[in-house]
A = this chain, B = another copy of it.
Amino acid sequence: MAVDDCRANLIAAATPLFAEKGFNGVGIRKLGNAAGENPAMISYYLGSKEGLYTAVLTERFEPLKRVTELKEMDDDPMKKFEMYVRATVARYRKSPHLLSFYTSELTNPTPCCETIVKPAIRGVVQMLIETFSEGLSHDQFRKGLNPADTVLALAGMINFYFLLEPVTGEFVDHSPERDEEVIQHIMDVFSKGVLK
């Protein structure tokens, strides 16, 4: 097997295991077996279990980095917020384990929180704050709104929708078919809440 295949294989197999059991809940042998590889390949390709976990998190949080590209787009702030919400939905749909790493690193951080998770989330929050501040300076938003509090509220609306999915199915249809409706609903409440 080519070097890259073996490495990618180890990362793919480790992702659900780390997501479900946490960094400490799974050992080298199980991680190797799940990938159908000799556990020694973990040390060989990734240095250690820590190295494998770091690679898994790097891959999961990579899409958050791309959110900051919205900064460069010459769109109005409300369009950028909508693109952020839409990108967040797409991330969770594409990577069901992301939420698990996201919440576990925030409540019980490993060293990867400081090196991977925190920079990724800060990049997104900073982009959102700058976007809101820009709109404020152009008199688009109500005076007196705190940019940081406002964008954390927006982030909460969409992220929490996915976190509560396992327990609120009785009240809300969480299926992907309804994603566009949810995005529009959040943007409706948010824009009425902040626009002048």
Considering only residues 146-163 of chain A, those with a C-beta below 8 Å from chain B are: 146, 148-150, 152-153, 155-161, 163
Interface status of A100 (Cβ within 8 A of chain B): yes
Which of A41-49, A76-84, A118-126 lies at the interface with chain B? A118-126
Identical copies in the complex? 2
Interface status of A192 (Cβ within 8 A of chain B): yes
Q: List 30 A-B contacts (CB under 8 A).
A: A21-B24, A22-B22, A103-B103, A104-B107, A106-B166, A118-B166, A122-B170, A125-B164, A126-B171, A129-B171, A142-B192, A145-B185, A146-B181, A146-B185, A149-B161, A149-B186, A152-B161, A152-B168, A153-B157, A153-B160, A153-B185, A153-B186, A155-B164, A156-B161, A160-B160, A189-B193, A189-B194, A192-B192, A192-B193, A193-B193
